[in-house]
């Protein structure tokens, strides 16, 4: 028997003002995407922006459905859109912000498990790590060097 330790580290900035300028700009784009969140059921808005290797920035937001399991997370919406719009172009960074209905959320919300799996698939497909930048409505910003740090031992195509 051997113990294995899964290790992931991230940077926590106290405010967005301390971030490198490109990260701050991507967060602002993600915040703009909140406006287009379609979330009449949860009233929880998620805005995402991605920075692509061709310099494009794409935005996405969550897209809910009265049949609840069909709700599409913002991360998955924008990554699927990017793969169709710019096939073969790597995603280099992804910023996520959130906005709740009843309270100001002052800590970052990390992508759900399904979104982490989709982020990891995108990293593998493009052979390019995706820098992850997370913030709540306000408060600290967490930066992960790659999506894989959020999902150690991800399921992947080599098993199939």
Residues within the interface to ligand THU (CB under 6 A): 39, 42, 44, 46, 62, 64, 71, 73-75, 111-112, 115
**Residue 104 vs 112, nearer CB to ligand THU:** 112
Catalytic residue among 28, 35, 64, 75: 75
Nearer to ligand THU, 41 or 53 (CB): 41
Measured from the CB atom, the residue of 1 and 66 that comes closer to ligand THU is 66
Tell me the sheet residues that pair with 95.
Answer: 49, 133
Q: Output the smallest distance, CB 34 to ligand THU, in A.
A: 11
Q: Is 147 helix (H, G, I), strand (E, B) or coil?
A: helix
Least Å distance, CB 159 to ligand THU, is: 24
Rounded Cα gap, residues 39 and 82, in angstroms: 21
**Distance separating alpha carbons of residues 50 and 59, to the nearest angstrom:** 6
Structure token pair of residue 103: 């309270």
Q: What is the CA radius of gyration of the chain?
A: 16
Q: Is 75 a catalytic residue?
A: yes
The DSSP line for 70-100 is G-B-HHHHHHHHHHHHSTTPPEEEEEEEEE-
| Residue 13 Cβ vs ligand THU, minimum distance, rounded to whole Å | 21
| Choice between 37 and 92, CB closer to ligand THU | 37
- Residues 49/36, Cβ–Cβ less than 8 Å: no
Report the nearest approach of ligand THU to the CB of residue 135 (Å). Answer: 14
Closest C-alpha among 104, 113, 114, 103 to residue 135: 104
Catalytic residues: 75
């Amino acid at each position: 028997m051997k113990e294995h330790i899964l290790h992931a580290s991230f940077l926590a900035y106290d405010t967005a003002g301390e971030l490198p300028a490109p990260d701050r700009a991507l967060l602002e784009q993600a915040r703009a995407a909140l406006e287009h969140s379609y979330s009449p059921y949860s009233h929880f808005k998620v805005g995402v922006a991605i920075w692509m290797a061709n310099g494009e920035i794409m935005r996405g937001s969550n897209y809910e459905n009265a049949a609840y399991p069909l709700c599409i997370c913002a991360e998955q919406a924008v990554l699927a859109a990017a793969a169709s719009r710019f096939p073969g172009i790597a995603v280099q960074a992804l910023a996520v912000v959130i906005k709740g209905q009843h309270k100001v959320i002052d800590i970052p919300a990390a992508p759900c498990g399904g979104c982490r799996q989709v982020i990891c698939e995108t990293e593998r497909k493009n052979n390019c790590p995706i820098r992850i930048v997370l913030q709540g409505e306000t408060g600290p910003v967490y930066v992960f060097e790659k999506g894989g740090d959020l999902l150690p031992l991800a399921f992947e195509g080599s098993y199939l």
